[in-house]
Amino acid sequence: MSEGEAISYTWRDALTDGEMVDLVRSHGGNAVSGWWDRIRQHSLGWVGARDSDGLLVGFVNVAWDGGDHAFLIDTKTRGSHQRRGIGTAVVRLAAEHARAAGCEWLHVDFDPELRRFYFDACGFRSTDAGLILLAAKH
């Protein structure tokens, strides 16, 4: 991808499970086949980012409680396309659509190394929150 290549962003993009597996594996993630098909039905929506060839290069899922609260989950950028603003753009579009759906709050949790991305680039702020680990990671 060249620096100036156009990226298109789509709310509720028609994504396949195979595309999601490929995207996750592109940056060394552990992809599980069937994951996207299983969780899509629980989403308010999601943003897909594609390059000019139609390759999926970015993604974020927006889960919700059916009311005031939306939750960002699984923000991803293809390994070869990172640090080009794609992650920030998918989060921004997800926030716009959550707001348009009537959500008052957009939540996110993340690993410590992503703090600057979510706070500085995306505009989240630190809040008090609680978390219980229900199952050990495999």
Residue 127 lies in a domain: no
Residue 71 lies in a domain: yes
CA atoms within 13 A on the CB side of 131: 9
DSSP single-letter state for residue 120: I
Spans of the chain, pLDDT less than 70: 1-4, 137-138
- Count of domains forming the chain: 1
Residue 133 lies in a domain: no
Residue 85 lies in a domain: yes
Q: Find how far residue 14's CA is from the centre of its chain.
A: 15
Global confidence as pTM? 0.89
Residue 135 lies in a domain: no
Residue 116 lies in a domain: yes
Task: Tell me the CATH number at 55.
Answer: 3.40.630.30
pLDDT of residue 103: 96
Residue 50 lies in a domain: yes
Give the contacts of 98 (CB within 8 A, at least 6 positions apart).
44, 62, 64, 70, 106
- The predicted-structure confidence for 3-25, as pLDDT tens digits, reads as follows 567 999 999 989 999 999 999 99
Percent helix, strand, coil in the chain, to 5, is 35, 25, 45
For the chain, what is the radius of gyration of the CA atoms?
A: 15
User: What domain range is 67 assigned to?
Assistant: 8-121
Residue 126 lies in a domain: no
Structure tokens at 25: 């594996």
- The predicted-structure confidence for 37-48, as pLDDT tens digits, reads as follows 998 988 999 999
